[in-house]
Amino acid sequence: MSGMTGNPEAIGEAIRNARTIAVCSHINPDGDTVGSATAMRLGLESLGKEVYLFCDDKIPDQLSFLPGVEHFRRPQESDGPFDLVLAVDISDKARMGACELLISRSAHTAQIDHHPTNPMYMETNSIDGKAPANCLLIREQLRELGVAMTREIAICLYTGISTDTGNFAFSSTNAETFEVMAELMRHGLPLSNLNRILFRERSRPQVLLMGKAIDSLMYYCDGIIAVMKLTEQDFKDCGALSEHADTLVNVGLETIGTKMAILGRETGDGMIKFSLRAKHPTCISDVAQSLGGGGHPQASGVTLAGTLDEATERVLEAMIKKLNGNGKQ
């Protein structure tokens, strides 16, 4: 598509020169990174490449329908070597987790990403910080490689595009997004079924965990900032996994008048993981960056050491500072 500003030609050359390719997704995997990886695997195998999928964390059960998702392995399970390691939707090396180990076992490295904060940490980089979803860049890359669209690839791409655009509701969603969606529909995309799985169904542990998050909900700055917290015990009480909290921060943003939301959760290793969200045009990525995190303008994250209350106070203070420095937000 003409609107993309990545570097598919350079990535294409790296892929054509490789026989064995390790495709990596980021830690705490979501629909966009897993959809990107599975779509690339299908496309590259159609070109005769030997493709391996890696992720340092468990793939969420909600994404078990994706074609080829069962091929994901932990990076510790393979020594390589590989001709190329390809990171997809990974904003920086820290988000690779143990997949970073594969870099030293590969002759060449490359990445396809859509995070504007990406420091271009690979040998060959295709970055478009304005792309609404990484799977849109994957579609462009597959086109550059001459890969024919199939129903299975369409399912993978839709998963990433729809989840990273908030089911086409985020302000980043553009005309190109729907142009690609039209193509996917023409190739037999089972839209209704996938939409139900991704957006209109929740597991029982996730519903119970949502109740815990709502019980903790507090408003600050006259309701402009919503804060929720989940303890390790909350997860145990609900029989919930980390993946069940991934979208709960959006609940805090649904209140009329609220412009920014925080969800902090204990990870069990002494660290606190925060999901940050904002309503357009408020930007939250600079708040995350100031604390050592990153992400998109309206969807970012950061992980901090300390107790849940102490770490949450740090994030809240950074948000209030942001608010005071930008009165209109």
pLDDT digits (tens, 9 = 90+) for 249-289: 999 999 999 999 999 999 988 899 999 999 989 999 999 99
Backbone angles phi, psi at 6, to 5 degrees: -80, -155
Q: What residue type is assigned to position 228 of the chain?
A: M
In the chain the domains, ranked by start, together with CATH numbers, are 8-199 (3.90.1640.10), 204-325 (3.10.310.30)
* Count of other CB atoms within 10 angstroms of residue 198: 18
Q: What is the pTM of this model?
A: 0.87
* Confidence label for 5 from pLDDT (cuts 50, 70 and 90): low
- Is the pLDDT higher at 79 or at 111? 111
CA dihedral 237, 238, 242, 246 (to 10 degrees): -130
Over residues 142-159, mean pLDDT: 98
The pLDDT, as a whole number, for residue 294 is 86
Q: 1 pLDDT exceeds 70?
A: no
The per-residue pLDDT for range 22-59, each reduced to its tens digit, is 999 999 999 999 999 999 999 999 999 999 999 999 99
Rounded to whole angstroms, what are the CA distances from 16 to 9, 13, 50, 124? 10, 5, 12, 13
> Is the CA virtual torsion 16, 18, 21, 24 positive or negative?
negative
As given in the structure block, the two tokens for residue 101 are: 């180990």
User: Residue 51: beta bridge partners?
Assistant: 21
As given in the structure block, the two tokens for residue 81 are: 């070597």
Q: Which residues contact 24 (CB under 8 A, 6 or more apart)?
A: 37, 54, 55, 75, 85, 86, 87, 88, 90, 96, 99, 102
The pLDDT, as a whole number, for residue 80 is 82
The pLDDT, as a whole number, for residue 314 is 97
Nearest to 41 by CA among 22, 56, 13: 22
Over residues 157-180, mean pLDDT: 95
The pLDDT, as a whole number, for residue 149 is 98
As given in the structure block, the two tokens for residue 225 are: 């900032």
The pLDDT, as a whole number, for residue 326 is 53
Tell me the pLDDT of the chain averaged across its residues. 94
Q: 2 pLDDT exceeds 70?
A: no
Q: 328 pLDDT exceeds 50?
A: no
25 contacts 57 by C-beta, under 8 angstroms? no
Q: Which residues contact 169 (CB under 8 A, 6 or more apart)?
A: none
264 contacts 228 by C-beta, under 8 angstroms? yes
User: Residue 274: beta bridge partners?
Assistant: 264, 302
304 contacts 311 by C-beta, under 8 angstroms? yes
Give percent of the chain with pLDDT exceeding 70. 97
